[in-house]
């Protein structure tokens, strides 16, 4: 047995024993050490770099590791075999991509604007923010030797009077609190009740002297990132906002690899635990702390996520989603409770799941469609969610059709060597001087934040700049030389945006031809999907009047540049609107408004799914779109004009 020591920039070492010959990435998984491995250990993405700091390991040099890096001790974990005792450092770039948990500063109006906006729009569309939760006071007589009614009957008796309903159930959680709270409060209490089918459920009980509110939690479980808001169920006020990387990331960057991992022995529990115990529960705990409440005061939760994510979250085998005939276990389902799933909120809180419409279009899109508002417009509109996959919904108040395309995770920084999410340290916009080829960029974060990597909007910018400055060809190959242009031993070119001296990184922040190729295929998938979808409806982009772009690409997205590289159709820029995380804002509406919830259910039932691969010309369309901007440049008159 060999002793493997994982070291971190911050925090304590993790030590585990492994057999000789074992794969280092597998050992790390066993030790619960999160190493990014978007390709699931196929030696293809080069993300799982670790640094040898003691002992030796059997690991060849590959194109992902330069000779200089190799000399410094960098190795790909997935390409390393244990040969004896060894110590490795998990570099910070990995932690940055994994993204540390973030509890938002709600004093920043930007953080909550999206929720205030959507509340207004949804209410105006006739879906009021009313739900089944309320807080009522019950002032009871104290028991005496002549009045020995038990605590639960005493409360029920009073609530029957207060609520005008005699069908009152007391949850087990509330029952366990009753005797102490009633006596501490001199039998004057406030209770949180939920109304359901002419019944009231007592969810919790507090002394009447306390300021009691019912709280809800809207959650977007993305393949890459989990985001959530804690809300006051009475008025929709945002009390906390948090996010972190999805802890399942170490089991693969995309849904297919996750499903494969779930199929391993114990995989169902492992994947469920990664998203619930290691991701959601810690965020909830921190948000509750920041809002000064107990997690048990969260009485309702609403999850919007893609079909694979909600199956994995629920601990349901997802293997049949990826195998013909691609059948999910559910579109809509009875809500499990906090206790059922092990989510640390009130044990009786129901966890609603935004409805899926198929294996490839899930609750993230149905919830997102609600908050795009396209169902409320007479105009033909497009809603594009640039998540780890790309999904597109087209229609108006009369009809809705949807499709999905395998865009991959490039828009969120996945499949890009220096890619990262749109968080602190991400380069979100960039310009390049055509003459000197020197870049000017802005970085997300406080004044003086050094760059760590590139987020989606930064990648769009740099590809636009490299292309329009004539530094790369329409095929994405470098065609100029200079200080910032490098070629590795395999001949692969790259552009250095920030040398490592100027960055918070162990190596230069650069964009390689492999990255550009990955991105071009991603943008080609989106562009061709839009066109094929419209074609299948006998329409074209000239009929579009509004386009809503959502997803983790970052609010810094420059629509003009996105159009000019052939990612989005060349229609007037004012038709485009970036709406942020529509999945989360949709979940927010669904938890606050019973009518919005019903509307999503209605939309999901009426939305038609179009399978793009059934279109005979789809592959040709996709190939044609894998150029800058497109093999048919006439589709992009705006660029021509430039």
Which residues would be at the binding site for a second copy (CB under 8 A)? 143-145, 147-153, 169-172, 175-176, 178-180, 183, 314-317, 319-320, 324-331, 333-334, 336-337, 339-341, 347, 356, 358
Q: Mind spelling out the 3-state secondary structure of 544-612?
A: CCEEEEEECCCCCCCHHHHHHCCCCCCCCHHHEEEEECHHHHHHHHHHHCHHHHHHHHHHHHHCEECCH
Minimum distance from residue 346 beta carbon to a second copy (Å): 12
HSE-CB of 611 using CA atoms within 13 angstroms: 7
Closer of 227 and 248 to a second copy (Cβ): 248
Cα–Cα distance between 620 and 559 in angstroms, integer? 25
Cα–Cα distance between 270 and 275 in angstroms, integer? 9
Minimum distance from residue 326 beta carbon to a second copy (Å): 7
Closer of 100 and 183 to a second copy (Cβ): 183
By the 10 Å C-beta count (0-12 exposed, 13-18 middle, 19+ buried), 197 is classed as exposed
Q: Tell me, what DSSP letter sits at residue 147?
A: B
Closer of 145 and 641 to a second copy (Cβ): 145
Minimum distance from residue 159 beta carbon to a second copy (Å): 14
Minimum distance from residue 355 beta carbon to a second copy (Å): 10
Closer of 328 and 408 to a second copy (Cβ): 328
Closer of 253 and 341 to a second copy (Cβ): 341
Closer of 107 and 148 to a second copy (Cβ): 148
Closer of 268 and 462 to a second copy (Cβ): 268
Structure-block tokens of residue 554 = 């970052």
Q: Mind spelling out the 3-state secondary structure of 195-236?
A: EECCEEEEEEEEECCCCCCCEEEEEEECCCEEEEEEEECCCC
Minimum distance from residue 335 beta carbon to a second copy (Å): 9
Find out whether 8 and 50 touch, Cβ atoms under 8 Å.
Answer: no
Find out whether 533 and 401 touch, Cβ atoms under 8 Å.
Answer: yes
Find out whether 236 and 129 touch, Cβ atoms under 8 Å.
Answer: yes
Q: Residue for token digits 């990014």? A: 36
Closer of 133 and 173 to a second copy (Cβ): 173
Backbone angles phi, psi at 474, to 5 degrees: -60, -20
Strands 400-405 and 608-609, by their bridges, are parallel
* SS3 of residue 522 by DSSP: helix
Minimum distance from residue 271 beta carbon to a second copy (Å): 13
Minimum distance from residue 530 beta carbon to a second copy (Å): 24
Q: Residue for token digits 């964009």? A: 511
Minimum distance from residue 452 beta carbon to a second copy (Å): 40
Q: Residue for token digits 């995309």? A: 254
Closer of 128 and 179 to a second copy (Cβ): 179
Closer of 36 and 151 to a second copy (Cβ): 151
Closest to 416 (Cα-Cα) out of 26, 64, 9: 64
Minimum distance from residue 584 beta carbon to a second copy (Å): 24
CA angle 631, 633, 638 (to 5 degrees): 150
DSSP run (H or E) holding 7: strand 2-8
Minimum distance from residue 591 beta carbon to a second copy (Å): 19
Cα–Cα distance between 307 and 314 in angstroms, integer? 11
Minimum distance from residue 200 beta carbon to a second copy (Å): 12
Closer of 85 and 340 to a second copy (Cβ): 340
Minimum distance from residue 364 beta carbon to a second copy (Å): 17
- Give the list of residues 6+ apart from residue 357 with CB closer than 8 angstroms, or none: 331, 365, 366, 402, 604, 607, 609
Find out whether 364 and 310 touch, Cβ atoms under 8 Å.
Answer: no
- Give the list of residues 6+ apart from residue 347 with CB closer than 8 angstroms, or none: 172, 173, 296, 337, 338, 339
């Amino acid at each position: 047995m060999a002793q493997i020591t994982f070291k971190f920039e911050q925090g304590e070492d993790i030590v585990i024993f492994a057999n000789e010959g074992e794969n280092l990435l597998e050992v790390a998984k066993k030790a619960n050490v999160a190493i990014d491995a978007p390709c699931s250990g196929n030696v293809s993405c080069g993300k799982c770099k670790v640094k040898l700091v003691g002992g030796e390991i059997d690991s060849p040099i590959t194109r992902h590791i330069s000779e200089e890096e190799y000399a410094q001790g960098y190795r790909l974990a997935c390409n390393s075999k244990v040969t004896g005792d060894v110590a490795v450092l998990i570099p910070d770039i990995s932690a940055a991509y994994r993204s540390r948990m973030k509890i938002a500063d709600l004093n920043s109006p930007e953080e909550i604007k999206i929720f205030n906006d959507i509340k207004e729009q949804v209410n105006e569309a006739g879906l009021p923010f009313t739900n089944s939760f309320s807080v009522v006071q019950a002032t009871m007589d104290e028991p005496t030797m002549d009045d020995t009614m038990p605590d639960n009957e005493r409360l029920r008796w009073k609530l029957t009077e207060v609520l005008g309903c005699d069908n009152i159930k007391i949850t087990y959680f509330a029952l366990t609190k009753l005797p102490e709270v009633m006596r501490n409060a001199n039998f004057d209490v406030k209770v949180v009740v939920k109304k359901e089918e002419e019944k009231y459920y007592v969810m919790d009980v507090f002394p009447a002297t306390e300021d009691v509110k019912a709280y809800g939690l809207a959650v977007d479980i993305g393949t890459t990132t989990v985001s959530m808001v804690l809300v006051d169920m009475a008025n929709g006020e945002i009390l906390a906002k948090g996010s972190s990387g999805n802890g399942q990331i170490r089991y693969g960057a995309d849904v297919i690899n996750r499903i494969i991992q779930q199929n391993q022995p114990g995989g169902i529990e492992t994947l469920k635990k990664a998203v619930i115990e290691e991701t959601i529960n810690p965020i909830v705990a921190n948000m509750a702390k920041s809002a000064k409440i107990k997690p048990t005061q969260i009485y309702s939760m609403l999850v919007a996520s893609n079909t694979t994510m909600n199956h994995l979250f629920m601990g349901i085998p997802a293997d049949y989603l990826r195998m013909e005939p691609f059948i999910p276990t559910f579109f809509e389902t009875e809500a499990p409770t906090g206790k059922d799933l092990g989510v640390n909120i009130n044990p009786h809180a129901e966890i609603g799941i935004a409805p899926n419409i198929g294996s490839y279009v899930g609750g993230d899109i149905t919830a997102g469609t609600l908050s795009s508002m396209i169902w409320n417009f007479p105009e033909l509109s497009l809603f594009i969610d640039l998540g780890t996959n790309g999904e597109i919904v087209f229609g108006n108040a009369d009809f809705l059709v949807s499709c999905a395309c395998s865009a991959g995770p490039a828009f969120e920084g996945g499949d890009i060597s220096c890619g990262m999410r749109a968080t602190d340290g991400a380069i979100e916009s960039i310009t390049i001087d055509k003459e000197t080829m020197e870049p000017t960029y802005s970085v997300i974060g406080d004044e003086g934040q050094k760059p760590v990597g590139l987020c989606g909007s930064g990648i769009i910018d740099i590809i636009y700049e490299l292309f329009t400055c004539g530094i790369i060809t329409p095929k994405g190959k470098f065609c100029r030389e200079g200080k910032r242009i490098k070629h590795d031993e395999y001949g692969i070119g790259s552009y250095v945006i920030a040398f490592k001296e100027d960055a918070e990184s162990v190596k230069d922040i650069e964009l390689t031809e492999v990255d550009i190729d990955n991105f071009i295929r991603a943008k080609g998938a989106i562009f061709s999907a839009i066109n094929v979808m419209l074609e299948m409806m006998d329409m074209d982009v000239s009929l579009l009047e509004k386009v809503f772009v959502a997803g983790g690409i970052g609010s810094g997205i420059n629509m003009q540049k996105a159009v000019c590289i052939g990612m989005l159709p060349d229609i007037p820029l004012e038709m485009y609107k970036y709406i942020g995380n529509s999945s989360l804002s949709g979940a927010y509406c669904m938890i606050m408004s019973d009518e919005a919830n019903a509307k999503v259910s209605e939309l999901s039932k009426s939305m038609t799914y179009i399978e793009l691969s059934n279109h005979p010309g789809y592959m040709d369309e996709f190939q044609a779109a894998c150029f800058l901007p497109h093999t048919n440049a006439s589709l992009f008159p705006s660029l021509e004009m430039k």
